[in-house]
Structure 1
Amino acid sequence: QVWDSGGRSHSVDLTALEKHGEVYTEGPFACLAWSRSETRLLYVAEKSRPKPQPPCPWDVPAAARPVEEDEDEEVGAVYPGEQFVYHEDWGEALSTRSMPVLCALDLEGSSLSVLEGVPEHLSPGQALWSPDDRSVVFVGWWHEPFRLGLTACSNRRSGIFHLDLASGCCELLSAEHSAAFSPRLSPNGQRLLYLEGDLGGPHRQCLRLRMLSWQTRQTVTVLDVVQEPTAAFAGLYAEALPPRCWAADSRRAVLGTPQRSRTDLLLVDTETATVTNLTAGSPEGSWELLTLQWDLLVATCSAPDHPPSLVVAALPPPGRELPLCWVPVQGAPTVPGVTWKTLTVQPPCSGQSPAAHGTQAFEALLLSPPDGPALHPLIVCPHGGPHAVFDARWRPSMAALCQLGFAVLLVNYRGSLGFGQASISSLLSRVGEQDVADTQLAVEQALRSEPLDPQRLALLAGSHGAFIALHLLAHEPERYQACALRSPVSNLPALLGTSDIPDWRYTSLGLPYSWERVPRAEEVATMLLRSPIAQAAQVRTPVLLCVGARDRRVSPMQALELYRVLRARGVPVRLLWYPEGGHALASVETEADVFRNCAHWLLRHL
């Protein structure tokens, strides 16, 4: 539906037109872009597939069909023997995304067209109109020789492309071998900003901010990869630029990105390549820009003790951006009974880590209930990823645990986003070692400096965080009294043939990956030695496992195998199996049930 000041102006049943399949409304491919004339809409949908034909009595190998049947054949129909051909998809959370196509809806001409000219080896998405409405710009992901998981993976080969609608000519605007995405055209139509990362390596990494001149097609690097963070700037780690990030002057842009254990709004001057942190030092630890129009910033902000608030601010002229005056539009009160602080943890010097990043400090967020006569039990939470971050945002489940009397430690071990590329790279070949040691180091520091009960410790984690937690249970079998895990990684070599990101199994151990790679005995042995399942005999702590049957990233069979091993050894263990759940266990009903069971498990054993 299209609405204007007079009400609903257009209503189009896209499904009835049968030009394409399901419209992409979310995820990395999705977009909905108006032309400059506001007469056409650009979006992405699944390519139409031929409909299966029912079997007929004449379906005999090598037998001729009756002539009259041939005359009624549907063009492009799928006949018996072809309807079960495998079609690749883009992995976890994208199982219905296989062959995206660009679609243009002409409201004046009441027509819908699937754009032609996109090379067959590309999957297009994130499209927008050119300044003259005669062409489109889109992101194309290479899908040959096969697709790897795309969710939370900014290291897949992709480029910024320009498609001329009249000639069908398609040209690459960005670098040939890179991961380029999230194009944003300036208001004057002269500049195109986008993010760019390196191919391969960590799935999430520090990115470059690149800018292309629309007239000259020349590209410059506005902000480069940051190896070591400074007090002013720690690098770019955003999954995407805000849909509207440009100021009215077509010179400055605003974006949100992790900066250590915060997510701040940064103003970037594309002419001077300078960065101004608009939210540094604010009591809210996480900011998100919703839109920037006519130099009016609309954002949300939150903190571990403060649900999101909607705020606005007018962007001052260049050079006078600070201090920025934020005006609340819709606020939320601070939640009583929750306090938080950031702990800085300094790893000890080690002969195994001679480089500077080997001893770089990392951080942890400590959420605490009100002080009382007794020491607080502590729940330790290393994040998943592993290249992710716990920023200081509102998390209802963590605040609820504080309301139940628990302190919560969110650990951003070395390898987390927001601390420079050197920190991210330091974890490669050290998974199961550096991340585990960092988490335990953060726990020991918190126990020394805060009113916490060392006899009541528990672990709560998911995915790679659960991998760390299982290692801690094996290394410290008497230290932790309870453990609740979601979508746990426990057997690394078993993921080679079951995960949508098999490349990570090699990269995480510092091994090269190629498309034609097959496992070698010595590499599988190394992976198994780093796997918690190999140390399951040391686990004594009661363990709760929560998994989704539709998880494409970490097979639920990992948890089932662990469940059987622990149960056979007499360890208290419980397995929750969610038939429709994916890796994130993110549906409302599933998330609520997971929290309910985890909270009961922790209360029972602590």
Structure 2
Amino acid sequence: MESLARMDPGAINTLFREYSRHPIPMSAFLTPFHGNILNGTTYTLSTEWTQSETVRGARLQYAQQWILIQKNNKETDIDILPPSPGSHVHGQLLSSYSPTGDLKAVVRETNIQGLGHQFLEVWSNYGIKKVIDLTALNKHRRVYEDGQFGCLAWSRCESKLLYVAEGKRSEAESSDSVSSPSAVESTSGTSGNHFEIQDRRLFWDDWGEGLTSKSVPVLCVADVGKGTVTVLQGVPPHVSPGQALWAHDGQSVFFVGWWHEPFRLGLRFCSNRRSALFSLDLEGNCECLSGDTHSVSAPRLSPDGCFLVYLQGQVFGPHRQCLSMQQYDLEKRNISVLVDVVKRPKKGDFAGLYEALPPRCWASDSKRVVFSSARRNWRDLFVVDTTTRSVTRMSDPEIFGSWKLLTIQNDLMVVHCSHLNEAPRLAVAFLPSAGLEAEVSWDPLDEGHLLGVAVDILDVSPTPQEENPEYSGLDFGALLVTSHLPSGTKVPLVVFVHGGPHSQFFTEWNVTSAGLATLGFAVLMVNYRGSTGFGQDSILSLTGNIGSQDVKDVQRAVLTAISDQNACQKAVTLDPNKVVVMGGSHGGFLACHLIGQYPDFYKACVVRNPVINAATLLGTSDIVDWRYSCVGLPYSFNQLPTPEALTTMLQKSPITHVPQMKAPVLLLLAGKDRRVSPHQGLELYRALRSRGSPVRLLWFEEDGHSLDRVDTQADCFLNTVLWFQQHLYLQ
């Protein structure tokens, strides 16, 4: 391995491109063929992947297929044939296989005379079967392809497709009647065009960061045979519909409706928005199936059509929380709790539900549900038995690291596995009989790509002085990634802090950490109290304590890693005189707090779209409710800031520590960030410049909060490494 001091910009770029090119699986679908082919049941596994291509700065999507053979119908005996070469998927926004797998629907966008033109295509084994020009039909605006509202669902009879699109903005609407999705059936003639021209400056409230221009979603049904599209009527005017799916009878649909009155709050990464589960028939009759005082998401229908499971959480408060899994019995019309909120898990036990259910998650017996969720520093695979309510873990973190279920069909599971030192790959296994799930036997589809870095898991406990009196006894975790260097080598330490704050680092593939470790840094990824995967008590413990509890946790993890040589496998030594820190969003908030509260400890700092002053952020963020909740204040839609609230927000912000900051700061700011305004970073930039402190600012005009454009990610990684090299005197 080339030493850190000799790595020039070209070599750093080459390394980042190499690690970025590892593809990430997005979806999987299994098509079984029952017959005497190859002495068993044969499955075609169709997958879609995304891959960064840094030469052109593009994120590519491609399809790939495997043939799986269940020999002699034995669940533990699967032969895997080599995969087909990947084929580039161009212009595809959404895709979905029909229940039998005989048809595939694709929503595709092409550029015609500089304008996006959308088509709905239906493909069979004999080529394209049907094309519906959605733009020409003019029934709605753009189809939603996002993971929040978007869907493309086949009816059981495979004759209709259900999807979500932006509704048309009719002449009858105004900015305060935008909340009526069912009223946005198409307008025709000159009046509609007159409205578009006359009121094109009218403000339309949307759903915030990552969902810009998504304002009035409508449910749409395409009839494949007739080539027609209908916008469904009857959706309550106060909710925005999404995540829709068909009932078994094909005459009604289920959907999640989010309240959008009196205005919309940012929805991306926020599972705490008021919403409910609805049923809507094709005649326009709508019914709310769940209570209307919670947040719900991810409805999934059982194979026999008798049960719906969905996730449920609280409204407001932490924007990502531990969720419960609810079951709705369609015959008895009652709701029961399958998986409850976990307040404080024991080490090694199931720690709660924190992420959406995959589109296909039911076992074929309609009595078990398979899902992935965070457990401390891992993402694991679980199954819940709807009869006994018992939850069983089916993944082994010692084998693959973290696991994510892509699909389960005919009890054959397809999972995405990766580790901090291993690029993503797929594995398959049959779900064993009820009660035997812990004995599942996994088959990887390939050998995987291993890196020459070591990964260690740290369990960290706060000192008595750092305990939270209301939630005492909580611990937290951290992941330490180090290079295989000669014994006794002193290495600089990068403290990597996640945002959220209610998110986490998993033991899964992370290009930034892998790249930094390969370059010779040690990387400490801290899951401070408040991170997901440690129970609801841990999440709630951070409310009102940002800027203190989370800051102390990160520092405690750093000191633990430096003092515990077992955490470094005794091969390398973390250099306490060469510690730097980086983070984005709330992670940037913490990084700036750390260099302000421990000014002599950190030698350099890199922050992406950091929260610098919660008081000035209040009026510019799409999640204004969190600005109150995070400092321990209640929120309501008619809330007006008070001097006391603004003072509390300011006192908990890193801007107050600017006079003590010594570490050189690199700011990476997005011009189109709606979650944390770039003016937050500018506020820090000007405060540091006025004091003569070393600071550099990179401005990415076209990026949003995540700074996830391919060329932007490469640019940020290069500048981060060069900044650390420069200020650790490694050049």
Name 1:595's counterpart in structure 2: 717
In the other structure, the counterpart of 2:10 is none
**How far is 1:351 from its partner?**
8.3
What residue in structure 2 maps to residue 446 of structure 1? 561
Taking a change above 3 Å as real, the CA distance of residues 582 and 75 of structure 1, as seen in their structure-2 partners, is closer
Deviations 1:61-119 (A, max 9, x none): xxxxxxxxxx9843473176633111001000111211100000001222110000001
Query: Which of 440-449 and 273-282 deviates more?
Result: 273-282
- 5 Å-filtered alignment, 1:135-174, equals 135-166=252-283, 168-174=284-290
CA drift of 1:232 comes to 5.1
**Preserved CA contact (<8 Å) 1:308 1:331:** no
CA contact (8 A) 2:354 2:533 kept: no
CA RMSD of aligned residues (A): 1.6
Q: Tell me the amino acid that sits aligned with residue 362 of structure 2.
A: W
- The structural deviation recorded for 1:146 is 0.3
Is 1:126 aligned to 2:243, yes or no? yes
Aligned to 2:385: 269
Are residue 287 (structure 1) and residue 287 (structure 2) matched? Answer: no
Task: Indicate the residue corresponding to 2:595 in structure 1.
Answer: 473
Q: 1:78 is paired with a residue of what secondary structure?
A: helix
How is 1:235-314 mapped onto 2 (pairs within 5 angstroms)?
235-314=351-430
Distance 1:464 1:95 in 2: 21
Residues 552-561 or 227-236, more deviating? 227-236
TM-score, normalization by structure 2: 0.78
Q: Quick check: 1:535 aligned with 2:535?
A: no
What SS class does the counterpart of residue 648 from structure 2 fall into?
A: helix
**1:398 CA drift (Å):** 0.7
- The residue aligned with 1:370 is 484
Matched letter for residue 153 of structure 1: C
Q: Which residue of 1 aligns with 2:223?
A: 106
The answer as to whether partners of 2:164 and 2:217 remain within 8 angstroms in 1 is yes
Q: Is the 8 A contact 1:387 1:416 kept in 2?
A: yes
The offset of 1:22, in angstroms, is 0.7
Q: Which residue of 2 aligns with 1:380?
A: 495
Q: Contact 2:378–2:397 at 8 Å: present in 1 too?
A: no
Distance, in Å, in 2 between the alignment partners of 1:481 and 1:386 is 24
- Of residues 367-376 and 145-154 in structure 1, the stretch that sits farther from structure 2 once superposed is 367-376
The residue number in structure 2 matching 1:59 is none
CA distance in 1 between partners of 2:333 and 2:193 (Å): 40
Asked if 1:571 is matched to 2:693, the reply is yes
In the TM superposition, what whole-angstrom CA distance separates every residue of 1:431-472 from its partner, at most 9, and x where no partner exists?
Answer: 000000000000001110132000000001111011111111
Percent identity between the aligned chains? 48
Deviation of 1:143 after TM superposition, in Å, equals: 0.1
Alignment match of 1:359 (pick from 469, 473, 476): 473
Q: Distance in 2 between matches of 1:237 and 1:176?
A: 21
Of 454, 462, 468 in structure 2, the residue corresponding to residue 347 of structure 1 is 462
Match of 1:5 among 120, 125, 130: 125
Partner SS for 2:169? coil
Question: How far apart are residue 524 of structure 1 and its match?
Answer: 0.6
Which amino acid letter does the alignment assign opposite residue 284 of structure 1?
A: F
Bigger mean CA offset, 345-354 vs 278-287: 345-354
> What is the SS of the residue equivalent to 2:480?
strand
Q: Secondary structure at the match of 2:639?
A: coil
Q: Residue 518 of structure 1: SS of its match in structure 2? A: coil
Question: Does structure 1 conserve the Cα–Cα contact (< 8 Å) formed by 2:271 and 2:313?
Answer: yes
Q: Deviations over 1:461-506 (max 9, x none)?
A: 1110111111111111111111111011101001110000111111
CA contact (8 A) 1:44 1:102 kept: yes
CA separation in 2, counterparts of 1:419 and 1:280?
18
Alignment partners' CA distance in 2, 1:45 and 1:145: 22
Alignment of 1:325 with 2:421, yes or no, is no
**2:582/2:607 contact within 8 Å kept:** yes
The 3 A distance-change label for structure 1 pair 80 and 46 is closer
Cα displacement string for residues 237-274 of structure 1 (whole angstroms, at most 9, x for unaligned residues):
33310100001000011100101110001011111100
**SS of the residue 2:205 aligns to:** coil
Shift of 1:375: 1.0
The corresponding residue for 1:421 is 536
Greater mean deviation of Cα atoms: 79-88 or 294-303 = 79-88
Which ranges of structure 2 fall in alignment gaps of 5 or more residues? Answer: 1-120, 173-187, 566-572
**1:88 counterpart residue number:** 205
Contact 2:425 2:448 survives alignment (8 Å):
yes
The alpha-carbon distance between structure 1 residues 352 and 233, as it changes in their structure 2 partners (threshold 3 A), is closer
For the 8 Å contact 1:42–1:127, the answer to whether it is kept is: yes
* SS in structure 2 at match of 1:11: strand
Query: Cα deviation per residue 1:563-602 (whole Å; 9 max; x = unaligned)?
Result: 1111121111100000111000011111111111111111
Residues 160, 223 of structure 2: 8 Å contact kept: yes
2:659 matches 1:545: no
User: Any conservation in 2 of the 1:104–1:113 contact (CA below 8 Å)?
Assistant: yes
SS of residue paired to 2:723: helix
Is the CA contact (8 Å cut-off) linking 1:461 and 1:469 kept in structure 2? yes
Task: Rate the CA distance shift 1:76–1:215 in 2: closer, same or farther, 3 A.
Answer: farther
Query: Given the superposition, is the C-alpha separation of residues 538 and 106 from structure 1 closer, same or farther in structure 2, using an over 3 Å criterion?
Result: same
Unpaired stretches in structure 1, ≥5 consecutive residues: 53-70
* SS across alignment from 1:228: coil
Q: Could you say which residue in structure 2 is the equivalent of 1:55?
A: none
Rounded to whole Å, the distance in 1 between the matches of 2:509 and 2:256 is: 32
Distance 1:210 1:185 in 2: 12
Counterpart residue number, 2:181:
none
- Residue 438 of structure 1 aligns to a residue whose secondary structure is helix
Shift of 1:374: 2.5
- Counterpart amino acid of 1:471? H
- Alpha-carbon distance in structure 2 between the residues aligned to 1:75 and 1:522: 48
Does the 8 A contact of 2:171 with 2:192 survive in 1?
Answer: no
User: Which structure 2 residues correspond to residues 33-52 of structure 1 after superposition, within 5 A?
Assistant: 33-50=153-170
Is the 1:50–1:76 contact (alpha carbons within 8 Å) kept by the matching residues of 2? no
Question: Residue 401 and residue 232 in structure 1: after superposition, are their counterparts in 2 closer, same or farther (change >3 A)?
Answer: closer
Structure-2 residue corresponding to 1:67: none
Relative to the length of structure 1, the TM-score reads 0.94
String of CA shifts for 1:35-71, please: whole Å, max 9, x gaps. 000000000001123599xxxxxxxxxxxxxxxxxx9
How many aligned residue pairs are there? 585
CA deviation after TM superposition for structure 1 residue 16, in Å: 1.3
Larger strand proportion of the pair: 2
Matched, 1:177 2:287: no
1:40–1:339 distance in 2 versus 1, CA, 3 Å: same
> Residue 400 of structure 1: SS of its match in structure 2?
helix
Aligned equivalent of 2:349: 233
Q: 1:273 to 1:79 in 2, by over 3 A?
A: closer
**Alpha-carbon distance, 1:323 to partner:** 2.0
